[in-house]
Amino acid sequence: MAIGKKPWSGRFQKPTAGNVEKFTSSIHYDRRLYPYDIEGSIAHATMLAGQKIISKNESAKIVSALKNILKDIEKGKFKFNPADEDIHMAIEKELISRIGETGGKLHSARSRNDQIVLDVRLFLRAEIKMIIGLVNALQRQLIKLAKREIKTMMPGYTHMQKAQPVLLSHYFLAFVEMFARDVQRLNECGNRLNVLPLGAAALAGTSLPIDRQRTAKILNFPAVSNNSMDTVADRDFVAEFILAASLVMMHLSRFCEDLILWSSGEFGFVEISDAYTTGSSIMPQKKNPDVAELIRGKTARVYGDLFAILTLLKGLPMTYNRDLQEDKERLFDAVDTVKDCLSIFTEMIDHTKFNAAKMRQAAQGGFSTATDIAEYLVGKGIPFRRSHEIVGKIVAYCLQNKKELENLTLKEYQKFYEGFTDDIQSIIKLERSVNSRKHTGGTATTAVLKRISEFEKIFGKI
C-alpha cells in the first residue's frame, strides 16, 4: 500500500477532500488509546497464528514490530498524522511501512468497529482501577480526620437551618459512606465492561476460524461477548461509567459547597490553607476558596459529558455508526476531570483547619437540643406529638424573652409541663445530646468509633 493512500480506498475514484479528512479525523484525541490498541493487536496476531490464519513467523514479525512502534510512541518519536484518521489506522499504516505486506495480515478477522470497543474497554478497565485508588485515598484521609476530630461538635443542618448537634467525625464518615457506594458502582461498571468484543468484526462476526476464548485469555477478559451486533453497537458501559463518575463529582461538589460556606467570615468553621486558595486582583483582603468552587463547577462538565453520551446513543440505528466516535472526548474528559478533582480535593482537605471552638459555639445555641427535650418527655410517657407541642411553646417563650434553653430555670420549664425534673439541665447539654444517639448509624462517640473501626478493618489501621 502506498503511503498516503487510505487502506479502504479500493472503491473510491477521488481522494478525500482536505477538510473532510480533518473533519472525520479523531487521531488528535484517540491517540491516547495507543497502548491498548497495540496490546489488543498483539493478542489478535497471536490468536491468528494459533488458528493458522497467519503463520507463526508472520505473527512474530507483527508482534515485534508492534512492540517497537509502542516504544517509539512512548519516546515521542512517532509522528501522528491527521490524514491517518484514527489511532487504528495510524498504527496499522506504520506497521505496514515497517514490515511490508505481512503487516496487512493483522487486520484479518477484525474491523475497526470491534477494535475501537476493545480499546475503550481496556482503557476504561485500567482507568476505573486508578479512580477507585483515588477514591480510597480520599476515604482514608477522611477516616484520619474523623479520628483526629472525634471530640469536635458541630451543628448539623437541615434546610440550611441549625438542626441538631453532631460530631464533625460523623460528618466526615457520611462522605466515607457515599464514596464507598461510588466505589461499588465503579467496580460493578468495571466488571460489566470486562467482556471481550474482538471477533464481532464489523457487525456480523467473521468466516475465518478465530478462537475468541484464546484472545480473551491473553487480554485477561473473563468472558467473550455473546452477540456481534450488540458488541459493535453498545456503548452502555461508557454512559454507565460517566454516571458513576458524575455521582463521585456530585459528592465532591456537595462537600465543596460546605467548605465554601464554612470558610466564609460568617461561619468561620474552617480555614483552607493559603496553598489551596487564591486572592482577588482588586480586593487585597480576599482569600477565596477557588479550588472548591472549581470542583463544584467541573461537576457540571461531567454531567454534560453524561448527557452528551446519552443523547449520542438514543437515535442510532443498529449497529455501528460514525457518531460513536464522538464518545471519546466526552469519556476522556470525564475520566480526567474526576481524577484531577479527587487528587486535589484530597490534598486540600488535608490542608484545611477545622475550628472546633467556633463549631462548638455554633452548635450550642439556636435550640439545637430542643428535640432532646421532646424525647425526654416521651421517656416520661407523653405522646411525641404532645411533647413536640410543649417544647415548641418553650422555644416561643425563649424567643419572646430573648433566652436560650440553657438559661431557663426548672420553674420556667415546669410552667409548660409540671413533670419536668432537674435532670432537664443535663438533657440539653451537647455531649449528652450527641452521645445519647448511640444506635447503629447514630452520631454518639461510641457509634462513630465503632464505624471507624469497621472501616479500619477494610482499609487497615489509619
What is the size of the binding site for ligand ARG (CB under 6 A)?
Answer: 9
Q: Binding mask 7-26 vs ligand ARG (x if CB under 6 A, - otherwise)?
A: -------------------x
For 21-160, strand residue ranges (E) read 153-158
Which residue, 119 or 375, is less far from ligand ARG as judged by CB? 119
118 near ligand ARG (CB under 6 A): no
Which residue, 186 or 200, is less far from ligand ARG as judged by CB? 200
Which residue, 86 or 372, is less far from ligand ARG as judged by CB? 86
In the complex, minimum distance from the CB of residue 285 to ligand ARG, in angstroms, rounded to a whole number: 51
Binding span for ligand ARG by CB under 6 A among 219-227, 240-248, 293-301, 318-326: 318-326
Which residue, 154 or 324, is less far from ligand ARG as judged by CB? 324
* Candidate list 55, 64, 280, 453, residue with the active-site label: 280
β partners of residue 155: 165
Rg, C-alpha atoms of the chain: 31
* Candidate list 159, 207, 281, 439, residue with the active-site label: 159
322 near ligand ARG (CB under 6 A): yes
CA angle 218, 222, 223 (to 5 degrees): 105
Could you give the 3-state DSSP secondary structure of residue 328?
helix
Binding span for ligand ARG by CB under 6 A among 101-109, 142-150, 319-327, 379-387: 319-327
124 near ligand ARG (CB under 6 A): no
For 154-174, letters b (16+ CB in 10 Å) and e give bbbeeeeebbbbbbbbbbbbb
Instruction: Tell me the CA distances in angstroms from 47 to 118, 199, 247, one per residue in order.
Output: 15, 11, 39
Contacts of 224 (CB under 8 A, 6+ apart): 195, 196, 199, 212, 213, 215, 216
CA angle 86, 90, 93 (to 5 degrees): 135
Binding-site member from 186, 292, 324, 348 for ligand ARG (CB under 6 A) = 324
In the complex, minimum distance from the CB of residue 6 to ligand ARG, in angstroms, rounded to a whole number: 11
Compute the distance between CA of residue 377 and CA of residue 356 in angstroms, rounded to an integer: 31
Binding-site member from 107, 110, 112, 330 for ligand ARG (CB under 6 A) = 112
In the complex, minimum distance from the CB of residue 97 to ligand ARG, in angstroms, rounded to a whole number: 20
Q: Which amino acid is at 189?
A: C
Task: Say if residues 358 and 268 touch (Cβ distance below 8 Å).
Answer: yes
107 near ligand ARG (CB under 6 A): no
Q: Binding mask 325-344 vs ligand ARG (x if CB under 6 A, - otherwise)?
A: x--x----------------
In the complex, minimum distance from the CB of residue 173 to ligand ARG, in angstroms, rounded to a whole number: 42
Restricted to residues 57-86, the positions that interact with ligand ARG (CB under 6 A) are 86
113 near ligand ARG (CB under 6 A): yes
93 near ligand ARG (CB under 6 A): no
Which residue, 324 or 434, is less far from ligand ARG as judged by CB? 324
Which residue, 87 or 174, is less far from ligand ARG as judged by CB? 87
Could you give the 3-state DSSP secondary structure of residue 273?
coil
CA 33, 38, 43, 44 torsion-angle sign: positive
Compute the distance between CA of residue 176 and CA of residue 192 in angstroms, rounded to an integer: 24
Q: Which amino acid is at 160?
A: M
Task: Say if residues 81 and 71 touch (Cβ distance below 8 Å).
Answer: no
Which residue, 322 or 439, is less far from ligand ARG as judged by CB? 322
Could you give the 3-state DSSP secondary structure of residue 316?
coil
| Active-site residue flag, 387 | no
Compute the distance between CA of residue 459 and CA of residue 361 in angstroms, rounded to an integer: 33
Which residue, 95 or 324, is less far from ligand ARG as judged by CB? 324
Backbone angles phi, psi at 443, to 5 degrees: -95, 0
Q: Which residue is nearest to ligand ARG (CB)?
A: 325
Task: Say how many Å lie between the first and final Cα of the chain, rounded.
Answer: 60
In the complex, minimum distance from the CB of residue 26 to ligand ARG, in angstroms, rounded to a whole number: 5
| Active-site residue flag, 170 | no
Q: What angle do the packed helices 56-74 and 34-50 form, to 10 degrees?
A: 170
296 near ligand ARG (CB under 6 A): no
Place of cell 443498529: 318
Strand 270-272 relative to strand 352-354, pairing: antiparallel
Binding span for ligand ARG by CB under 6 A among 111-119, 134-142, 170-178, 411-419: 111-119
41 near ligand ARG (CB under 6 A): no
β partners of residue 167: 153
Please give the residue ranges that form the binding site for ligand ARG (CB under 6 A).
26, 86, 112-113, 116, 322, 324-325, 328
The catalytic residue positions are 159, 280
